[in-house]
A and B are shown apart, each in its own frame.
Chain A
Amino acid sequence: MTGTWISTRAWLLMLPLLVVMTAVIGWPLVDTVRLSFTDAKLVGSEGDFVGPANYIKVLTGSNFQRALVTTTWFAVISVAAEMVLGVLAALLLNQRFRGRTALRALMILPWALPTVVNATLWRLVYNPEYGALNAALTQLGLLDSYRSWLGEPGTALAALIVADCWKNFPLVALIALAALQAVPRDITAASLVDGAGPFNRFRFVIMPYLAGPLLVALVLRTIEAFKVFDIIWVMTRGGPANSTRTLSILVYQEAFSFQRAGSGASLALIVTLLVTILAVAYAALLRKAAGAS
């Protein structure tokens, strides 16, 4: 009797949230699935059922394949760089020196900035006419004339990756720094007496305590990087010559710029599926890591 009442009350308490979730997530998701099997336009046409035609078109088209490659490059390189930079920063900030507390606080700043602000800031840095990067490189004699970093297909993606790393490595650093606090001082001392140098100390003393938290950071950052939209939209809108067009940008263009709601929906669902696969794989990895320790 009591059990039933508690269970009923639990459902009652969750009901408002469930209603909202159904309205803003559940229903749109279901409707997206429906849309993806039609040739609906964003405005005007409700569309007719076309079966898997949208999926076939998207998966066999070069736009999707190219965007997938671009997204993968972006995610792999920026996340890898964030991991390395984050851990290095954490190791540095874990040393004792004057001004450490101030520097720790300062380091969080890029991550605390809204993405749009960060993107705008880096557009200024990369500006082909008065950008700081051009100025610095020419004054150092490394560059003959100003370049349009975001305007050339060869450099735009790299420039975006730098901007994204700058924003996100502090998160990794923060997680790693917290993990470093957990390394017992006695083990560090024991490794000193045992004669382990910095590399072996990192490998045998620090890494066991860092691995778990870093895996969490890796999962979070990869999934986010795979879905990246805002920073690219503000800085390059997927250009030049679609060289920075990631999957999310492609979805946006398909559904809103070209107003093809049907194929946009199918593309969006494919991206959702890919991210879900990533998330599930990582979750399994995390479970395994938790089991090992």
Chain B
Amino acid sequence: MSALEIRNIHKRYGEVETLKGIDIALESGEFLVLLGSSGCGKSTLLNIIAGLAEPSGGDILIGERSVLGVHPKDRDIAMVFQSYALYPNLSVARNIGFGLEMRRVPPTERDKAVRDTARLLQIETLLDRKPSQLSGGQRQRVAIGRALVRNPQVFLFDEPLSNLDAKLRMEMRTELKRLHQMLKTTVVYVTHDQIEAMTLATRIAVMRDGRIEQLATPEEVYDRPATLYVAGFVGSPPMNILDAEVNASGLKLDGCEEVLPLPAAFNGAASAGRRVKVGIRPEALRLAAGSGGPRLAANIEVVELTGPELVTTATVGSQRITACLPPRTALRSGSAHAFTFDETALHLFDPESGRSLRTE
């Protein structure tokens, strides 16, 4: 049974169409991340699921029931906001229990639910405080508690971690993952942070310009990006995209002599003479030692040690490429080296449509 079904959702504001036909079906217990840069329509979609905005077309089903025109409070959803959105003059306990209070749940039952939730989130000692007396991380826990306490069918998260500092964001990310593994709830989570998406999601919907570019598991999105946009958006540093042409012996990169082997997965799609974009992730590149495997002659331009890795920028012919190498690699800027990689690490895209040319 689908916990949530999004059917051909459109949203227009006057002339501008911000959602252009979104279809997603979510099984119970799935963690869906809507990933995209600002303005891609992900928050609009979340607001439509919540009932805070009405779609211009399409349907939303929660637990097999169409919720179009249904008030947000009757949709069996809970939402966590980027700004926490706590009620400033209510205590933490009343903030968490507010939804139950509004639904006239008896005080004893309410109190128990609030305490159980607070224990789960380790904020029991804060129950009597006001939101203004809490740190950012504590406020976010309260906001999450307010959603958890009602035990709804679907949880909606609108960039819940973006107001936190980097360290706290990582902690809360792990915390969210732990909660999801424990509670097995259905979640729709909006973010522009691809690390959050990769780590939390059971499925990611990469959105761009009101459309879904790819809807797949994190592994699939990372290993087999469906479009150039997805390839560039997921991964840090982003995937190297190089211009090339298919010829009889393989892939010839623009501006250099090398001919790379055409990976088997793209055999059918790429005929000789065809222009393509070749993608390879920085972390798939290694310094070539010996003569085995494909080689890319490169001139090292910049070497940056981030700690766990050495981010190396180099030129390959007339094009620039980034490689993530082990931190102790002996490299000097200005020196000439060769990179090697596994054939399967190559991705081919159509330069016009941006779609992957993968045939299997």
What residues make up the interface of A, taking CB atoms closer than 8 Å to B?
A: 184, 186-187, 189-197, 200, 204-205, 207-209, 293
A interface, over-half SS: helix
What's the least CB distance linking A40 to chain B, in Å? Answer: 55
Question: Smallest distance from the beta carbon of A214 to chain B beta carbons, Å?
Answer: 14
Kindly state whether residue B73 has any CB partner on chain A within 8 Å: yes
Query: Can you report 28 A-B residue pairs in the complex whose CB atoms are below 8 A from each other?
Result: A184-B85, A186-B81, A186-B82, A187-B86, A187-B87, A189-B50, A189-B79, A189-B81, A190-B79, A190-B146, A191-B87, A191-B98, A192-B51, A192-B52, A192-B72, A192-B73, A193-B77, A193-B78, A194-B73, A194-B99, A195-B99, A195-B103, A196-B102, A204-B89, A204-B98, A205-B87, A207-B89, A209-B88
Chain B neighbourhood of A200, CB < 8 A: 102
Interface membership of chain B positions 78-109, coded 1 if the CB is closer than 8 angstroms to chain A and 0 otherwise: 11011111111110000000110011000000
Alpha-carbon gap, A193 to B84, bound state (A): 14
Alpha-carbon distance between A205 and B103 when the two chains are bound, in angstroms = 17
Partner of A208, one of B71, B72, B88, B102: B88
Q: How far is the CA of A196 from the CA of B47 in the complex (A)?
A: 17
What's the minimum C-beta distance from B112 to chain A, rounded to whole angstroms?
19
User: Do residues B85 and A186 form an inter-chain contact, with CB atoms below 8 A?
Assistant: yes
Nearest chain A CB to B93 CB, angstrom units: 14
Instruction: From A189, A192, A196, name the one whose CB has the most chain B CB atoms within 10 angstroms.
Output: A189
List A contacts of B50 (CB < 8 A). 189, 193
What is the CB-to-nearest-CB distance from A70 to chain B, in angstroms, rounded to a whole number?
Answer: 37
Tell whether, in the assembled complex, residue A190 and residue B81 are in contact, meaning their CB atoms are under 8 Å apart. Answer: yes
Residues of B within 8 A of A209 (CB): 88
Alpha-carbon gap, A200 to B99, bound state (A): 11
Q: Does B102 contact A195, Cβ atoms closer than 8 Å?
A: yes
Chain A residue contacts of B79, Cβ below 8 A: 189-190, 193
Complex CA gap A194/B50 in Å reads 11
Tell me which residues across on chain A come within 8 A of B51, comparing CB atoms.
192-193
A189-B52 in contact given A184-B83, A204-B90, A205-B87 (Cβ < 8 Å): yes
Residue of A with least CB distance to B53 = A189
Please, which residues of chain A bring their CB within 8 A of the CB of B103?
195
CA–CA, A189 and B90, complex, Å = 17
- Nearest B residue to A188, CB-CB: B85
CB distance from B165 to the nearest CB of A (A): 20
Give chain B residues whose Cβ lies under 8 Å from the Cβ of A184.
Answer: 83, 85
How far does the alpha carbon of A194 sit from the alpha carbon of B103 in the complex, in Å?
A: 8
User: What B residues does A186 contact at CB under 8 A?
Assistant: 81-85
The 5 closest A-B pairs by CB, nearest first: A195-B73, A186-B85, A190-B85, A195-B102, A194-B99
Q: Which of B78, B79, B85 has the most CB of A within 10 A?
A: B85
Within 8 A of A (CB), among B173-193: none
Contacts of A192 in B (CB 8 A): 51-52, 71-73
Question: What residue of chain A has the Cβ atom nearest to residue B98's Cβ?
Answer: A194
CB distance from A114 to the nearest CB of B (A): 40
Tell me the chain B residues, 37-83 only, with Cβ under 8 Å from chain A: 47, 50-52, 71-73, 77-79, 81-83
A190 neighbours in B (Cβ, 8 Å): 79, 81, 85, 87, 146
Give the chain A neighbours of B84 by CB distance below 8 A.
Answer: 186
Could you say which residues of chain A place their CB within 8 Å of the CB of B73? Answer: 192-196
Q: Collect the chain A residues with CB atoms within 8 Å of residue B72's CB.
A: 189, 192-193
Q: Inside 8 A of B71's CB, which chain A residues have their CB? A: 192
Apart from A189-B50, A196-B102: 7 A-B pairs, beta carbons within 8 A: A189-B52, A191-B98, A193-B72, A193-B73, A193-B79, A204-B89, A208-B89
Give min CB distance, A292 to chain B, whole Å: 9
The minimal Cβ–Cβ distance linking A142 to chain B, given in whole angstroms, is: 40
Give the shortest distance, in Å, between A15 (CB) and chain B (any CB). 45
In the complex, A191→B98 CA distance in Å?
9
Determine how close the nearest CB of chain A comes to the CB of B252; give it in whole angstroms.
53
Q: Which residues of B contact A191 (CB under 8 A)?
A: 87, 98
Q: With a CB–CB cut-off of 8 A, which chain A residues contact B146?
A: 190, 194
Bound CA–CA A65/B165 (angstroms): 64
* A196-B98 in contact (CB<8A): yes
When chains A and B are docked, how far (Å) is the Cα of A190 from the Cα of B96? Answer: 12
Whole-angstrom distance between the Cβ of B210 and the nearest chain A Cβ:
21
Alpha-carbon separation in the docked complex, A292 to B167 (Å)? 31
B78 contact set on A, CB distance < 8 A: 193
* Cα distance A197–B86 in the bound complex, in angstroms: 17
Q: What residues on A are CB-neighbors of B85 within 8 Å?
A: 184, 186-187, 189-190
In the bound complex, CA of A202 to CA of B47 (Å): 22
Q: CA of A196 to CA of B87 in the docked complex: distance in angstroms?
A: 12
Residue of B nearest to A204 (CB): B87
What's the minimum C-beta distance from A289 to chain B, rounded to whole angstroms? 12
| Residues of B253-273 contacting chain A, CB below 8 A | none
Residue of A nearest to B77 (CB): A193
A121 to B76, CA, bound (A): 56
Residues of chain B within 8 A of A189, CB atoms compared = 47, 50, 52, 72, 79, 81, 85
Nearest Cβ distance between residue B354 and chain A, in whole angstroms?
Answer: 35
CB distance from A159 to the nearest CB of B (A): 39
A282 vs B257: C-alpha distance when bound (angstroms) = 84
Complex Cα distance, B146 from A192, in Å, reads 13
CA distance A104 to B343 in the complex (A): 67
Please, how many angstroms separate the alpha-carbon atoms of A197 and B73 in the complex? 10
Bound-state CA distance A200–B77 (Å) is 20
Is A194 in contact with B83, judged by CB distance below 8 angstroms? no
A208–B87 CA distance with the chains assembled, in angstroms = 9
Distance A194 CA – B146 CA, assembled complex (angstroms): 9
Bound-complex Cα distance A97 to B202 (A): 42
